[in-house]
Amino acid sequence: MTGYLFPGQGAQFVGMGADIHSSVPEAKALFDRASAVLDWDVADVCFNGPAEKLSLTSICQPAILVTSLAVVEALRAKGAPDAQCAAGLSLGEYTALAYAGALEFEQAVDLVRTRGALMQASSEAHTGSMTSIIGLDLDVVEAICAEAGGTVQVANLNSPAQVVISGEIDALERAEAVAADKGAKRAVRLDVAGAFHSPLMADAGEKLAEALANLDIAAPKIPVYSNVTAQPLPDSADGIRETLVSQVTHRVLWQKGVEAMVAAGVTGFMEVGPGKVLSGLLRRIDRSVKCTPVGTAGEVDALGSGE
């Protein structure tokens, strides 16, 4: 059984999707359709940047979703079999829902545009950031957050060796110092716009709930594993809405979600979209299960050639 993994914010890079766009007509059509929804040229920003523009939360979220789904079109054009389940890291959960048929393409593009803009606004209103703690167990990192005080919490359980924390700058600085004292291999401040998956995103969560309220959401055609619960999202529209709103302020249980998919029978993954972050995390979660990154035309072609 194959699972698709879709990347989240931070996977973007100038040039992403260009060779897919030029070689797969169905992929080009997605970029054109997304540009019509957003009223800016998605292909131009993805292919030409500048990087500062592509990195804006309100820009990169729809750009990554469109690029990832364009890669899906390239896989289909190649005759690759569809996945039996899917998951996405934070933003990537929306891509997974679109892939699974729960969201129409234009719906998904518009929704992540809204989500990105709301998160950008919350980041500007409530200054914060995120730090990756390398080499400490989850319970130790939770204790570090408690000791640091202020607004700081675990934001992502990415792998056994990597836990990301999120919160106010002062609280993060205290937590980083405590982490060093407790033997962390590294504490790396991330280049992100704000304190994602923390209470500082509460404003974004409330307004996202309003945007989701009247949106038609279908039952996913395949299981889509939730960041919040590490289990398949419910079939009901209300259940999906509630989980997506919770995701904005709650921790992402990426490691546990991947483990749940493996326990359900997944024997191999594809990381579908820009970058190779999720493939790297999988090696740290379970080396017995292969994850193949597929984000370029060359990588799609290699699937059929045995490279």
Give the residue numbers annotated as catalytic, written as ranges: 90, 197
Cα-Cα-Cα-Cα torsion 161, 167, 172, 178, nearest 10 degrees, comes to -60
**Alpha-carbon gap, residue 151 to 16, rounded angstroms:** 35
Report the distance separating Cα 273 and Cα 50, nearest Å.
19
Structure tokens at 230: 């590490």
CB 202 within 8 A of CB 123: no
Sign of dihedral through CA atoms 50, 51, 57, 60?
positive
Task: State whether residue 3 is helix, strand or coil.
Answer: strand
Sheet holding 129-134, edge to edge: 152-159, 162-167, 129-134, 186-189
Give the separation between CA 57 and CA 61, rounded to whole angstroms: 6
Q: Is residue 93 within 8 Å of residue 12, measured between CB atoms?
A: no
Instruction: Report the candidate in 203, 209, 286, 281 with the shortest Cα–Cα distance to residue 242.
Output: 209
How far, in Å, CA of 209 to CA of 244, rounded? 8
Q: Which residues contact 198 (CB under 8 A, 6 or more apart)?
A: 128, 151, 152, 153, 155, 166, 167, 249
